[in-house]
Chain A
Amino acid sequence: MIRTALWLLAGVVLGGAIHLVVILSLPSLAANAAWARVGGLDALNRAVVLAPALPGEPNPLRLDPELAYAVCRLDLRQGPGMVRGVLPLAYWSVAVYNRAGTVLYSTTNRDGIGQNLELGIFNQDQTRLLAQQQLDVAPGLLIVESREDDVFVAVRLAPAHQVMRKRYEAALGRIVCRNNPA
């Protein structure tokens, strides 16, 4: 009886180890992470407006049906990433993600950046050049440092009414998202 209990206890301990391995390895193994979904779009160096979340249709990115979204992907090996646009007078926000779908940086237009979205994303080498003033950047540029070279950016825009969605999506589609030569 005691021997059986010891075997089961060993099973529980091993189960705890399996649990830790699963939790720690999931980010690198998950095939349906947001990166993979954004990677399925033609969004490298261009802003792609996402189709709205409609009733009865799959919504893998869990989009809010009230908001309009644009995403773009950047490879910082090609140079610092720049995201620029002029957005309507409404609530909008921007977030930068890494491959695991972790938000590296986010802000909203209530943080004093008005209608103009001016975001620069730099990897660590480029940040060092920036600190040494060997990179020219426009004044007022929001500077984001990324430890990884593969990132994607999502811009959320909240139309006050759904009739404004098309106009707002057009504004999202005009966002410039590309690398600047380092």
Chain B
Amino acid sequence: MRFLGHLLAAIATALVVGFGLSWYALSSASIFGTIEIGPWAAWRDAGSPTPDPYTRAFVSRTGALQLGASEGLQFVATRDSDGQLLDRACRYRIDGTTPLATFWTLVPTDLDGSPIARPGGPAAFHSARIARAQDGSMQLYVSRTLSPYNWLEITGEGSFALALTLYDTASFTGVGPTEATLPSIIREGCP
């Protein structure tokens, strides 16, 4: 009986460790093969012809059409710069500069990747269509309620993600700068 108890405990431990670690490695993007800058994370080799096993598993699991290494790189944030989950009830300011790229887009999505902007309006920010300060920095607002400057209206309830895609960027590719800053995501308030 004692043997059976030990066996069941070992099997339970193995299942929790095995599947839990796999889920964590592929969901949190924070163990292997990722670039983390503030709240943003990207799978560095998602567009590589020879990705590491974790990146390969991530690519298969998401089923997304990954950007090739020369096409660009996508960063995703599910938390703000203070580490709190992004909540559609709150207003967020995305503040700062982006690495050099031909252009970039910033798309608020649900956690499955569907855009959550107001239907009929723009679904994303585009680097060519935003107002900037004289030093090139920007202030973008994402919220359900009216906000100043560059504002994207979102809908729905619950948590969400921000996908920042840098197209045709030399940053992080091995031929360009390896250090870069990404904008902060600042929670300005929740009603």
Contact = CB atoms under 8 A, between A and B. Distances in A.
A12 B168 contact: no
Interface in A44-79: 53-67, 69, 71
B109 to A, nearest CB: 7
Given A18-B15, A55-B116, A91 B168 contact: yes
A115 interface: no
Contact of B61 (A7, A30, A95, A111): A30
B129 to A, nearest CB: 8
B1 interface: no
A33 interface: yes
Nearest to B165: A64
A59 B109 contact: yes
Contact of A11 (B10, B25, B116): B10
Most A C-beta atoms less than 10 A away, residue of B25, B51, B68, B105: B68
Contacts of B114: 53, 55-59
A130 to B, nearest CB: 19
Nearest to B10: A11
A4 B6 contact: yes
Given A4-B6, A7-B6, A19 B13 contact: no
Contacts of B112: 58-60
A56 B17 contact: no
B69 to A, nearest CB: 6
B48 interface: yes
Interface in A1-43: 3-4, 7-8, 10-12, 14-19, 21-24, 26-27, 30, 32-34, 36-37
B148 interface: no
Given A93-B68, A107-B70, A56 B116 contact: yes
A100 B59 contact: yes
Contact of A12 (B17, B48, B103): B17
B131 interface: no
B180 interface: no
Interface centre among A23, A27, A30, by most chain B C-beta atoms within 10 angstroms, is A23
Interface extent on B, as a size class?
Answer: 35 or more
A106 interface: yes
Interface string B63-102: 1111111111000000000000000000000000000001
A68 B14 CA distance: 45
Q: Classify chain A: how many residues form its interface, as a range.
A: 35 or more
A50 to B, nearest CB: 9
Contacts of A14: 10-11, 13-14, 17-18
Interface in B118-152: 118-119, 122-124, 126, 128
Given A95-B66, A101-B63, 6 more contacts: A7-B7, A11-B12, A53-B123, A56-B119, A60-B63, A61-B63
Interface of A: 3-4, 7-8, 10-12, 14-19, 21-24, 26-27, 30, 32-34, 36-37, 53-67, 69, 71, 91, 93, 95, 97, 100-108, 110-111, 154, 156, 158, 160, 162
13 contacts: A11-B17, A12-B13, A14-B14, A22-B22, A23-B53, A23-B57, A32-B63, A65-B115, A91-B102, A103-B67, A108-B102, A108-B168, A160-B128
